[in-house]
Amino acid sequence: MSKIEQLAELLQASSNTVFFGGAGVSTESGIPDFRSKTGLFAAQEAYGLSPEELLSRTAFDRNTAIFFKYYKENLVFTDVQPNAAHLALSELEGRGKLQAVITQNVDGLHQAAGAQQVIELHGSLDRVTCLACGCRSSRHDLDQRLREANPGWRARSTVINPDGDAVLDDDQAGQFRVVDCLTCGGLLKPDVIFFGENVPRPRVEECYALTGRARMLLVLGSSLTVMSGYRFVRHASKHAIPVAIVNQGATRGDDHAVLTIDAPLGPALTALTAELGAPG
């Protein structure tokens, strides 16, 4: 029996499967992950920082202009579309095989593919939140306001220090305008969890509850390197809930899994839905 057939059997036997996914789910849509050779880690050479350093609250607070420069160049994905993995997961949800999607991704592609029960563990780049009043607004609106406030602005930093400080010419720093919250005048930031920030506790508790009620946890496209996702695998294992992992390469959670599949997600999930057959 192939591993895809084994996964299909596990899904058939489970009356409540919860999905947890990481950056690898979106790479086939053209969105880079963090840790591969072509990921965002590799893209940091021009900045001299890792994403953990640049996409930290410290760096944002000290050099909002540099953050928004990186944000617009590397984190605003305008033409991406859901790939075969997103579509397969949406189909599984529609068939009643998947009860909820917990994703570390901030790109909104699960919803674009039609998934309904989605928890965005780390937030979404489509939203902006005010640090003073908590008011949320559209990222598209922020982009438009930044363009209007900074016509033709092209800052170039030659040095960015490990603490997040960047060296800009005085005239460049003086030219950039950061737009404020339209409600209270507070500082705006993308509605995502920066490195060094904590996921809101109610969101974590909701994910724990979903995992604890599951009959199987299906993990896709995550190395589970950081505790943000690994904790749910440990939680499932502690409660004797089967864990199945599909990922390219080994993961931190492999020892907790009853099944691991090392394969590209799109082809693997397409084969899985074919193995499950037409909806009954």
User: Would you name the residues annotated as active-site residues?
Assistant: 122
Phi-psi region of 123 (alpha: psi -120 to 50; beta: other; left: phi over 0): left
Q: Which two tokens stand for residue 144?
A: 């438009």
d(CA 103, CA 82): 14
Max CA-CA distance within the chain?
Answer: 66
Other CB atoms within 10 Å distance of the CB of residue 45: 8
160 has which bridge partners? 166
Segment holding 58, helix H or strand E = helix 57-62
| CA 115, 121, 125, 131 torsion-angle sign | positive
